[in-house]
Structure 1
């Protein structure tokens, strides 16, 4: 989920792998789908759980980007198909009280990032294409192409 504020900043969480606590990285809100859950419904549910922002899945429109990734987390290997939705807010005060146990144990912080600052930070972030994707989405909506239907 790409949650972007009026200043063009994206919300990211700083997490770490419990099996490798020194392996820190920034990532977007989101997670796995429940059985029979559509990608938009899952994105809306995860956004509510992780940030407190409650949306109707229809407000998300279509995914703006999709990919597949493989990674290790807490000693388990995952292959994950990912759909990214873009939703713009004027601002949002993040509420993490909906975190589940693993999120409470593996997420250290959250921050709103400007894409250029993220790219120049030297920090690890996922997906690696994030700054370029955000720049492309920002330019396309600035020129009147509404890719996100938000």
Structure 2
């Protein structure tokens, strides 16, 4: 029996924080419903920064001038299904500071089945019974909002 590794799918995601240290998450209905940070796969020849800004524009209508895009905070690798096919997704997470007023869903060009957007406090993230990806997001956001930005990207669950 032959086992093969699923094809690689590179993705860039933004950990959007507002001035109050809240993180913006998007709700999706698939797989029983979950919340996740905005982002998606890189297009051929696209770098991570460009992909992150493009995804914020496509999913949330955010103009790139309204985003203070920072360092890569984390990385996660996960095998899952995309479009009915197995992939190994490698996601890079970037710090993005943005005000709530910069989000304009009316300008979003590819909302990708987003059902809701919500700003979450670290306390709420830690207490929720809802599914949030990545699982260890609360700890990472807490580190960043208290000024403890990782020197190197951390591995997320």
Bin of the TM-score, shorter chain as denominator length = 0.7 to 0.9
Q: Which residue of structure 2 lines up, in the alignment, with residue 29 of structure 1?
A: 38
Distance 1:12 1:61 in 2: 18
Q: Which residue of structure 2 lines up, in the alignment, with residue 117 of structure 1?
A: 124
Distance 2:134 2:101 in 1: 22
- 1:50 counterpart SS class: helix
Stretches of structure 2 that go unaligned for 5 or more consecutive residues are 1-13, 152-157
The reply to whether residue 129 of structure 1 matches residue 139 of structure 2 is no
1:78 to 64, 81, 87: 87
User: What is the Cα deviation at residue 91 of structure 1?
Assistant: 2.9
Alignment length (residue pairs): 136
Give the TM-score, by structure 1 length.
0.79
User: What is the Cα deviation at residue 59 of structure 1?
Assistant: 4.8
Kept in 2, the 8 Å contact 1:13–1:29? The answer is yes
- 2:33 counterpart SS class: strand
Stretches of structure 1 that go unaligned for 5 or more consecutive residues are none
2:50 to 41, 60, 63: 41
Distance 1:59 1:26 in 2: 23
Q: Which residue of structure 1 lines up, in the alignment, with residue 21 of structure 2?
A: 8
Q: Which residue of structure 1 lines up, in the alignment, with residue 60 of structure 2?
A: 51
